[in-house]
Chains A and B, each alone.
Chain A
Amino acid sequence: MIWVEHVVSGLSFGFLLFLIASGLTLIFGLMGLLNLSHGAFYLVAAYLMLELLDLELNYWLALVVTVVVVAAVGMLIERLLLHRFVNQVLPQIVVTVGLALIMADLILARYGGHPVLPPRPPGLSGTVQIAGGYFPTIRLAMIVIGLLVAVGMWLLMSRTRVGAMVRAAVDDEAIARSVGIPVSRLFVGVFGLGIGLTALAGVLGGAFSGLSPGVDFRMLLLSVIVVVLGGLGSLKGALVASLLVGLVNQFGIVLFPTLAQFALFVPVALFMAFRPRGFFGRVGLA
């Protein structure tokens, strides 16, 4: 039964990674932008949530406000700064690392370096007993939310007009522009969606894995791994890879704690060396 509990833990962490990585991969697929400040938005959202809860705001209202505000800040940054660097690999890396440094340092200045465990959402704080195993409710909720987001993203991309426009812009930006698709507006929208999902991940993930300086870089690196494994720009790949990384991460920590991260990075590096485009990445995307 202990193994089932570990599987649930790994899967819930995997779905948490999926919330972050789906935005990352979508933004890359559409704009050719690898946003290395993605992890910083995760942390910003988590701390903003704490501030709002201090104001005695209703938990769910605070969650909505956090996601909307952080997504709006992200869209503003995209519009003012990042859109200058679309499809320019190296400048983006440097600029988004710069953004991440600034955000992380400001958070450190405001909240100090102490680890914090934010409160869990009301109604999701206990454990559930199923067939002799104990499962934290929030982890089960994470799996459900992750599945909902995955289905929602799939519907959005494959069944709506906006999704069709995004797919067109991913395929051929110039042609998409020339037939009147507002590509620049799509950029802002998709960036906002990605950051919003990361903000949601920050609030929920913070509640079950805690907050401390460095969490931003850790989550970012794991999501970058997910995005790379799945194939840059592929949502399906991100889903498969995030569950895989979640499970490998969990069992790595359980089975060989002194080698857990090493055991994660080495296979990833080898895999990338022999299949750079990942599970579902397209040839010649980058």
Chain B
Amino acid sequence: MSLLPVALSKPRVRQVAAGIVVLAVLLAVPSLLSPFHVFTAARILIFAVFAMALNLVFGFGGLPSLGHAAFFGVGGYTVAIGLTRWGWGFWTSLVVAIVLGLVVGALMGLLTIRTEGIYLLLLTLAFAQSLWALAFEQVQFTRGDNGISGITRDTIPFLSGDYYTFVLIVGLLLVGVMWLWTRSPVGRALVGARESKSRMEALGYEVWRYRVGAFALSGAVSAIAGLLLVYLQGIASPELLHWPLSAEVIVICIVGGAGTLFGPALGAVVVVGLEVYSSAYTERWNVVLGALYILTMLVLRDGLTGLPARLRRLRRARAETDAAADEPARAPEKPATGVRL
């Protein structure tokens, strides 16, 4: 028996310590690195939040959405159009982005209730592409392919000089909300539905409500991420809504480990980092990105967070072949994330 109370058990202490170290490093970024690297770090943070939001439906819900750029773009264009047309400040833009994210998210959730797997993927894609087409073609509102530029950060309420830290604080708040959701009965029920929809329905859960709710929350968080990115780069263009972006966040989730809360954040460090730094060295960074996509599916399907478990499995398999066949067969270990890709 351990003398420590459960709340202070060893793994918990280790987790808290790791969290404090990561937080300290994140806070130290602006004072340690050059502006370019701080800009990159802010971009990574934003994509980490975006990917974690997708992961709510994709990893935890088992619903592969290829349309999350829709929410991201809705948030981004809220700032761009609101600020340049009507002079909206930060708070107005934030509230409108959250409301639109919730509404569009719930709408996508409702539309996709009847679908699963590839049909869900294609339906979310068509949904997002219709918003992209709107941004691309409604030139009088969005200036089409040129995008809306000249977005300033004057109305950021605090830390307007240190936008990275502002993004960090907003991001931590959002991560807190998502963490609470994954631990709540609502989040658990969605994971249950991922594992067995029919069983959850037999238990009396109305699965579709949880799915729509997850899409709404995911949409709102993604919209805030889009808003943060547009403030960061000062321009909103149809790229924000385009489907390569939807594919990229899926890859971010998988690289880090879909179905774990912090896996996608790790994935964002790898994918966005690679994207930014390889584009500094070569114009052909799309080739690098494409190669990363293929390699990920070939060797990293459980993601980085699933890597230890995968290595353990490999080691055990080797040990078992060494120890010959006299040992009884062990039940295969489940993949770390529980998501069937």
Considering the complex, give the chain B residue whose CB is closest to the CB of A262.
B133
Considering the complex, give the chain B residue whose CB is closest to the CB of A37.
B290
* Chain A residues in 8 Å Cβ range of B301: 91
* Chain A residues in 8 Å Cβ range of B115: 272-273, 276
B233 sits at the interface (CB 8 A): no
Question: A-B pairs with CB below 8 Å: how many?
Answer: 128
A100 sits at the interface (CB 8 A): yes
Query: CA–CA, A259 to B137, complex, Å?
Result: 6
Which of A137-145, A180-188, A263-271 lines the interface with chain B? A263-271
Which of B119, B125, B292 touches A276 (beta carbons < 8 Å)? B119
Query: CA–CA, A80 to B133, complex, Å?
Result: 36
A94-B254, A272-B115 known; A106 and B287 CB under 8 Å?
Answer: yes
Sample of 9 A–B contacts (CB below 8 Å): A95-B297, A99-B294, A217-B243, A221-B129, A224-B122, A258-B139, A262-B133, A265-B133, A274-B114
Cβ-defined contact, B118 with A232, below 8 A: yes
Interface residues of chain B: helix, strand, loop or mixed (majority): helix
A224-244 contacts to B, CB under 8 A, are 224-225, 228, 232
CB distance from A109 to the nearest CB of B (A): 6
Q: A93-B121, A265-B127 are in contact. List 12 more A-B contacts (CB 8 A).
A: A89-B118, A94-B250, A94-B293, A94-B294, A99-B290, A109-B283, A260-B133, A261-B133, A265-B133, A268-B126, A269-B127, A286-B118
Which of B64, B123, B136 touches A90 (beta carbons < 8 Å)? B64
Which of A90, A102, A262 touches B287 (beta carbons < 8 Å)? A102
A104 sits at the interface (CB 8 A): yes
Chain B interface, number of residues (Cβ within 8 angstroms): 44
A94-B250, A102-B290 known; A269 and B111 CB under 8 Å?
Answer: yes
Cβ-defined contact, B293 with A89, below 8 A: no
Which of B119, B137, B284, B293 touches A260 (beta carbons < 8 Å)? B137
Cβ-defined contact, A91 with B297, below 8 A: yes
Considering the complex, give the chain B residue whose CB is closest to the CB of A109.
B284
Considering the complex, give the chain B residue whose CB is closest to the CB of A85.
B297
